[in-house]
Structure 1
Amino acid sequence: MSYKTVLTYLDSSDRAQARLGFSLELARQFDALLIGLYTTFLPEAREYFSIAGGAHYYDAWCDARRGQRDAAEEAFRHALRGDGLGGEWIAFDDYAEQPMIRRSRHADLLIAGQAGPNDDSRALRKCFLEALVLTSGRPVLVLPYAGALRPAGKSIAIAWDGSREAARAVHDAMPFLVGAGRVTVLRIRTGDTQRLAALGAQGREIDLMLARHAVNVDFAEVISDTDETAGDALLSWVASSGCDFVVAGAYSHPQWKEQWLGGVTRALLESATVPVLMSH
């Protein structure tokens, strides 16, 4: 198994160029076709027309947006030519999540980025990421909003809880896992003794399965008092371990619980400092 079609989300943000560079590196690594899908988080047109003179500002904003889109396309095509890679450019005048989700059915891997703390459309971007992970049916590689995006996947942590979502993520991430120098199956202990016993047995089985794929695997545990603090415990372990990539199932608990109480999925989507491959 390998990724032969990679779909990356591009927009007019400062982080888009770094996301493109990272996506190009992955396309080169897997000899994949890279599709750049460009769209932005649009305000409703009626918001401009509800104030006097708003139509003028809306027209000017549309002109500026078209200029940004054209510049992004030129940068994308120039990068492809420079790397000698095959690619496809798609641009939509639509809200970001629907075009991305529609096109995701035809890709092996999706790439998107976290919302930054100073992002004007932060709330929209958070909803976009959640919708992409939950409804695309494809693995989503979420890149951090800050820091250098270096080639990743040399030291990988698997956030393993024995769930269907975690198993899906492990198999979706296999092209990364077989090429990694080190893979750590990380079990998060939350104090539930019955669950811990089952998790330990499942962890040994996943270790053996990965070893049959010639994956260099070990295991570790991180202790968290409750499910609500498990995400913070995971992020702390990642920061101290030196791993550069995380594989995790998304929303193995009900989504409402993660939204209100916190959890691993929410922590990774909002605060991970390394790329995270998530599957649902």
Structure 2
Amino acid sequence: MQYKTVLAYLDPDERTQARLDFSLTLAGRFDAHLIGLYSPFAPDSRAYFTVAGGAPYYSEYCDVRRGQQAAAEESFHHALRRVGMDGEWIAFDFYAEQPIVRRSRHADVLVAGQANPDDNTASLRRRFLEHVVMTSGRPVLVLPYAGALRATCEAIVIAWDGSREAARAVHDAMPLLETAKRVTVLHIDTSNSSQTPMPGTGISDIDLLLASHAVNVDFAQDFSDSDETAGETLISWVAKNGCDFIVAGAYGHPQWRERLLGGVTLSLLESATVPVLLSH
């Protein structure tokens, strides 16, 4: 299995270049077609006209946006020339949630960036990611907002709970799993018990599936006080065990529950320190 089309979401964010470099490496690894889809996080233009004298500020804002888009496009094509790769540039001059969802359905994987908590659009960006993960029907590869980005994906951990979402994530990540040096299936036990490891999670079946793809895995288990803290436990385990990539199902619980109480998906979207492939 291979990825044949990689869709990279680009915007004026300071991490866009790192996101592009990661996407280039990923696409080059599989000889895939790279699409750069650009759109800023733009406010509703009507907001500038509700206050007297607001129109000139909106015009100035549009000029800034056009300059940012032109610079991003030049950077995209320069990066392609640098590595000798063909690619495609698509740009929208408005908030691109729906266009990105539509275009991602024709790609093998979408690369996007985690929201920086210091950004004043952080809440908007997280909601955007949630919507894309839930509605695109494709795996979304979310890159952390800080730190160096490596597209090696050599030590992968699968967050496994036997759910439909986790199973889909494993299948969506198979091109990466087949080429990884180390793959660990990790189960986070939230039952507050130390009984037989990983009961009822179909761990033997996932072992057989991965073996049929020539993926050699080991298995691990960790414990969390509750579902709400399982995400923190997962992130901590990844850091302690030197993993550089996470594969996880997204929103096995209802979205409202995670927003209210927390959970694995929310923790990964906000706090993961390595790239995460999420599937719903």
Tell me if TM exceeds 0.5. yes
Q: In the alignment, residue 76 of structure 2 is paired with which amino acid?
A: F
- In structure 2, distance between residues paired with 1:124 and 1:230: 24
Contact 2:166 2:248 in 1 (8 A): yes
Q: 1: CA distance between counterparts of 2:10 and 2:172?
A: 23
TM-score (norm 2): 0.97
Tell whether 2:73 aligns with 1:111. no
The equivalent of 1:55 in structure 2 is 55
Correspondence for 2:257: 257
Provide TM-score, normalisation by structure 1. Answer: 0.97
Do 2:169 and 2:278's aligned partners in 1 also have CA atoms closer than 8 Å?
A: yes
> RMSD over aligned Cα, in angstroms?
1.3
> Residue 199 of structure 2 corresponds to which residue in structure 1?
197
Q: Distance in 2 between the 1:93 and 1:238 partners? A: 38
C-alpha distance in structure 2 between counterparts of 1:3 and 1:119, whole Å? 32
Secondary structure at the counterpart of residue 138 of structure 2: coil
* Aligned-partner Cα distance in 2 for 1:254–1:57: 41
Contact 2:192 2:225 in 1 (8 A): no
Q: Displacement of 1:96 after TM fit?
A: 2.5
What corresponds to 1:185 in structure 2? 185
2:243 counterpart of 1:240 = no
What is the CA–CA distance in structure 2 between the aligned matches of 1:108 and 1:8, rounded to whole Å? Answer: 11
Q: Which moved more, 1:224-233 or 1:185-194?
A: 185-194
Secondary structure in 1 aligned to 2:101?
helix
Q: 1:278: which partner in 2?
A: 278
Aligned length, in residue pairs: 278
Question: 1: distance between equivalents of 2:22 and 2:57?
Answer: 35
CA deviation map 1:185-224 (0-9, x unaligned): 000101177995212xx11221121122111200000101
- The one-letter code of the counterpart of 1:198 is G
5+ residue gaps, structure 2: none
Aligned to 2:42: 42
Cα distance in 2, alignment partners of residues 264 and 221 from structure 1: 15
Structure ranking higher in helix proportion: 1
Unaligned 5+ residue runs, structure 1?
none
Correspondence for 1:88: 88
Aligned residues with identical type, % of pairs: 67
> Partners in 1 of 2:162 and 2:258 — Cα distance?
18
Contact 1:190/1:227 (<8 A) preserved: yes
